[in-house]
Amino acid sequence: MTAHAPTQTPLRELDPHPMPVHLVGSLPRPLCDDPVTAMAWVLGHRGDAELTALPSDRDPRWIIDWLTHHLSTVSSLEQVRGGESRGYDDMPYYRVRPGEKLCSEEVGLARVEQARAAFEALDRLGLTATGEPPRVQVGIPNALDLAAFAFGSLDAAREWLPTMQAAVLHEVTELVARWGDRVQLQLETPTVLVAYHLTPPEAWAALTRDLTTQVAEVLAVAPRTRWVLHLCYGDLEHVPVFTPTDLRPAVRFLNALADALAARHVPMPTVHLPVACGAGAPPTDPAFYDDLRHLRRGVEVIAGVVAEEHPEETREALRLTAEALGAPVAGVAAACGYGRRTEDGAAANLRLAAELAREWSVR
């Protein structure tokens, strides 16, 4: 590994700003039960680290509660399979009743209510009265993910994807209309990388067109908003849907998305790129990162490398990410939210992320 060491210093010298820590969103219960408690915990554990935004996620199991409780009350849906959501093969899913139609108003994302509670928490913490208040990050589930979860598969999701897309676009429009640049929106989409994993490479061209068209439409509805695109391998019970062997699917998707957005004159979002997954160590084989050398210049990457039980592998993964990019990373983060960690594990991850940010920042 010593042959690569000289690369780190010039990369750091390219960036005069501190490296921020990015928090994907969720916290362990009971920290997440109250937004004041959640925000105070983050602020109390970040040390001197700069954050990309202050996350406002309330429930690490929101998708499970949405599937189990909310969708079960929608009259146009009937459950095809039940499940306790203890694993990826134990998730409930639905179908639209014959002769019925699912309306976007019934989807029930409640992100506006979540954001309102977060801004009220800022007031209660006194963060709006002194200086520049932090941005609040609001997680936006991608419509494709909602449709795939609700209907059980990507194939079954296609018919009702436009309905889910309309619900997401409405939430985004409302959030931006109410809070403008006080919010950072994080579009969350594990399904993108899972779709590549499930699709033979010879069919990736068509898959990429479909995926980028759908995601670009979401981003384009709020082109002046600060976005983070959160890719993911899944983290149910802190276990990924699959373990990646390289970053080729992510780079292919991101390059195509950059082209699609450029055609719409919409800025490319900052990308939270998962490198670690589950409770495992991030890869330290340089070959894993090679595809990043082909990522479009100008795409900002938050390195999702932080695994608190593997600090040395985390440091090496961050170095390899920056080296392959040929540019400083835009931030450092865990691969996913903290909701499926213990409180001690979450604190350890944030502490390690803050240490890395400090080590890689120019003082």
How confident is the model at residue 192, as a pLDDT?
97
How confident is the model at residue 230, as a pLDDT?
97
Indicate the burial class of 18 (C-beta count within 10 angstroms; 0-12, 13-18, 19 or more).
Answer: middle
First to last CA, the chain: 26
Residue 198, domain extent: 2-360
Identify the CA nearest to 102 among candidates 81, 71, 64, 63: 71
Q: Which amino acid is at 56?
A: S
DSSP 129: T
Question: Which residues lie across from 298 on neighbouring strands?
Answer: none
Q: Does the predicted TM-score (pTM) go above 0.85?
A: yes
Cβ neighbours of residue 234 closer than 8 Å, sequence gap 6 or more: 88, 190, 194, 240, 241, 242
How confident is the model at residue 235, as a pLDDT?
73
Number of domains forming the structure of the chain: 1
DSSP 298: T
Please state, in angstroms and as integers, the Cα–Cα distance from residue 195 to each residue in 153, 198, 242, following that order: 10, 5, 11
Cβ neighbours of residue 245 closer than 8 Å, sequence gap 6 or more: 288
What whole-number distance in Å separates Cα of residue 89 and Cα of residue 87? 5
Where the chain has pLDDT below 70, the residues are 1-17, 58-60, 83-88, 129-131, 236-237, 362-363
DSSP 55: E
How confident is the model at residue 62, as a pLDDT?
79
CATH code of the domain in which 308 resides: 3.20.20.210
Q: Please give the backbone phi and psi of residue 62, each rounded to the nearest 5 degrees, phi first.
A: -60, -40
CA atoms within 13 A on the CB side of 217: 17
Please state, in angstroms and as integers, the Cα–Cα distance from residue 182 to each residue in 34, 136, 174, 222, 282, following that order: 20, 6, 13, 13, 33
